[in-house]
Amino acid sequence: MYDYPSAQDAFIAVLDELGKGNAWQSGLQLNDKDAEQPVADSGEKVDRENDAEASSEKAAAQSGRDVALLDDTFHAMRLSFYYTGGVADIANLLARQGDRHYAPRLYADLGELYLSKKRFRDGADTYVAFVESYPLSAYAPRFSVSRISAFAMGDFPNEVRAEKQAFAERYSVTGEYWQQAEEPSRQYVKGQLRVYINELAAYYHGLAQQKKSQLSASASLAARAEVVDLYRQAGNWYQAWIDSFPNEPDLANTWFLLGETRFESNDFRDAVAAYENAAYGYNSFTKANEAGYAALLSYDRVLSDIQRRQAMMQADLAVSQSLHEEYAKWQLSRIDSALLFAETFQSDPRRIPILAQTAETVYELKDFERTIDVADRLIAAVGDDHEWRLKGYLLKGHAYMDMQQFASAETAYEYALGAQQALLPTLMPSSREYLDLVDQYQQTLENYAASIYKQGELANAAGDPELAAQTFLRVVERAPDSQIRVTAQYDAAVLVMKTVQ
């Protein structure tokens, strides 16, 4: 029986002997310019053709006999590996004899031979064996690409995609390989990442959309979870693209797609950040307003999620308090985002409803000064639209009343009454909208009268009964149909009598 291990050891001795007196072995190490091609390119010889500038190759080229013997030896070695234990024999040989600079060629030659025999999986396994043995080698990314090429040659699409994903993960710009790699290797890796990450993101995003469109109302939880997971995977690849290519000119669109996939995977906090980056981080993104609005919708989902958890954890006071604080933080962030939207996208038709909603939210938070500021922005934005002016002036009036700035409240309520009077003729008298507006008008009138009456109380408390009486009489004059009119008229009469006495 032929002793292949002994023969392989002898081949090593021949290669070592040929290496004496020159540096051809070191030429088998990756030259910086080598980082442009995978190791399995047709006709490539790692030791001669890819390292033309290496001094070791110059020495080898000067001796045709040595070069021929060198090639014959490598050819014999790959045949011996092919007919025995395959790639495992390479590992065993190097374990016995010690590592060699030409180890990459041993793996590359065997892999190439497998491919020529259409043994695509064996070829692919040979390439990955090198990567596993030398994970930080400058050759490793090219062997990984050769593995992908082997599966592509064998028409194994699932394996191709899986290996592209493995490449993107193994050689990520945040990973161990990248941190120690030299610039030529990094450039080669980035060239592959540019292709693979884009393909993976598009694949998972498209598949997620397809699966989502097929969901029925009665779809199982497992089917829905699958869609969520696909969107999450797509989002992970969009994030990988952003991490890998932070200066790309179209990055705003990638942020937008990241926001979309994070929203669909229920990762609403991440969706907020992604959409806001797309909306406000770039000057010429055509979907910036859509991104800004989507960020607000994402905020709403974050807040709803916190409320849901609050309802579930009411019995745990510590957790409930923590959730309350979390809700307040996100609510304030949403307010800031809404105001930024209104300031940035002034021609967007959603701007005015957003301002109105934000003013109401700020008022509910009892931030009265900010309520007035946002209401003023709303009023300035709507022009002669009486419906929106009404909302803005009502909020201003309420805020001023809470701040006990009653004169300013009076002015705001007076404008609100004017807007209501302008709206009434536009409605059918028998319609629900008309009747609701009449009720609202009466309530506004009461607030208006109260704002004047409060000024009278302040004047009286300040020791000016004459001004107080005059102010109470203004209630009678300006709001004769208000409920507080009778009280104001009585108080005015009492003060007048005291003044006369």
SS3 annotation, 349-390: CCHHHHHHHHHHHHHHCCCHHHHHHHHHHHHHHHCCCHHHHH
pLDDT digits (tens, 9 = 90+) for 226-269: 999 999 999 999 999 999 999 999 999 999 999 999 999 999 99
Mean pLDDT of 353-371: 98
- Residue 93: pLDDT band (50, 70, 90) is confident
Residue 3: per-residue pLDDT: 54
More confident: 93 or 182: 182
pLDDT more than 90, % of the chain: 76
Residue 1: per-residue pLDDT: 46
Residue 371: per-residue pLDDT: 99
The distance of Cα 22 from the centroid of its chain, to the nearest Å, equals 54
SS (H, E, C) 104-117: HHHHHHHHHHHHHC
Residue 146: per-residue pLDDT: 98
Most confident stretch, 51-55, 246-250, 413-417:
413-417
Q: What is the mean pLDDT of the chain?
A: 89
Q: Give the Cα separation of 140 and 35 in Å (integer).
A: 10
- Residue 317: pLDDT band (50, 70, 90) is confident
